[in-house]
Amino acid sequence: MKDKDRAKLIVKILNKTYPRIFVPLKSRNVFTLLISVLLSAQCTDVNVNNVTKFIYPKYYKPKHFLKLGIKKIEKLIKKIGIFRIKAKSIYNLSRIIIEKHNGNVPKTFEELEELPGVGHKTASVVMSQGFGYPAFPVDTHIHRLAQRWGLTNGKNVDQTEKDLKRLFPKRYWNKLHLQIIFYGREFCKARDCYGITCKICTSCYPNRKKPIQTKRA
């Protein structure tokens, strides 16, 4: 089966499994979405939502976090992994958004990636989920699944993103990256499917007998 045929089959299965999708990180506006995505690094969405549900009702603008200061931000997010580093990033990006962007989250990849603590994946999520711009955020989970499903050679997340964008029409990207994440969490888990049990794996590779080894990002 050619990779583009696999891509079409995968879209069909994912659309049937998840006809409607939702953004897993809770947010109040684009700025709080940016903060939540930053907090989600090395942390589950559930944990982030459990922490931010007590923050966003009161603090949801850059000026709020700038006024709080780093130490108070640390106290608010102390249940999140590497919270001190993240608190510093939140404070500094809030300052930059106020000083350089009139308090508004920038709407380009270049400007977003200039913000402290914001890499390409975080910028892609904000562009996709916050602004509706076609983007294909690739994290370690999507990288792993793309290898299992024969969509990339698995060199790194940058190459995986390029391969996925080549295989799937742009109009699918924003929905598809979330569908892949949901499917991986439910059916094609890292320590469960191993590339040989879920519907996508068995449909794409019906003759595969041995667990597939994936390359880390």
What does the alpha-carbon distance between residue 34 and residue 208 come to, in Å, rounded to a whole number?
A: 40
What does the alpha-carbon distance between residue 87 and residue 193 come to, in Å, rounded to a whole number?
A: 36
Active-site residue (options: 86, 121, 163, 210): 121
Tell me if residue 45 is catalytic: no
Tokens of 22: 């939702």
* DSSP states of 90-156: HHHHHHHHHHHHTTS---SHHHHHTSTT--HHHHHHIIIIIT--------HHHHHHHHHTTS---S-
* DSSP states of 24-83: SS--SSHHHHHHHHHHTTTS-HHHHHHHHTTTTTT--SHHHHHHH-HHHHHHHTTTSTTH
Tell me if residue 63 is catalytic: no
Tokens of 12: 């069909």
Q: Which of 38, 170, 137 is nearest to 55 (CA)?
A: 38
Active-site residue (options: 53, 139, 155, 209): 139
What does the alpha-carbon distance between residue 24 and residue 204 come to, in Å, rounded to a whole number?
A: 27
Query: Which residues are catalytic, by number?
Result: 121, 139
